[in-house]
Structure 1
């Protein structure tokens, strides 16, 4: 899965600081939601964040709902969301815009 969001240039240092020490409870909730190999990349000067992760669960909607309902994750988002800029076309109620995969070197049959 891949997603993209803008980042406010004046918030890049803060975003880096936050992600240098992600709260243990947030990391555990991500793992409990069956997300693995999660990375976020920064693209400057366009000021974009690109996120990638692999989902290893069986009920994506339920796992994402559990993450969204988690109080510590919600608190984490109060720090990270102000750093970000929603892109045009991002669905209402979502921060990051999901991306469509158009190529896979090693597709799983």
Structure 2
């Protein structure tokens, strides 16, 4: 199953966001893969600072559902200064509805 959602980057943090994701923690990557999340891509609309994420997942769990794990909570805290975040540091995330897919 493919899942898409959007988040929002704070202005001026494009390079820092990319740098942090280029250096994604190995243990976070393992956790995502162990939970069936793969082919994970994030795009940025530079006009609006909207981050558009797409991920392939086995089952019904997305990366946003792993917030109870210590490593995800640590990642959220690490990212909270450069993107819109909730009180628990989780990114403000809005699911997107698929309206077209071409094979």
- Per the normalisation by structure 1, the TM-score is 0.77
- C-alpha distance in 2 between matches for 1:85 and 1:26: 20
Unaligned 5+ segments in structure 1 are 87-92
> Post-superposition shift, 1:61?
4.7
Alignment-derived partner of residue 71 in structure 2: 72
- Normalized against structure 2, the TM-score is what? 0.81
1:47 Cα deviation (Å)? 0.9
Q: CA RMSD in A?
A: 2.2
| Deviations, residues 20-79 of structure 1 (Å, cap 9, x unaligned) | 11000110111111011100111112111110001113xx259864x2121111101111
1-structure distance, mates of 2:97, 2:82: 24
Larger helix fraction of residues:
1
Larger Rg: 1
How many residues align? The count is: 97
Runs of 4+ residues over 4 Å off in structure 1: 61-65
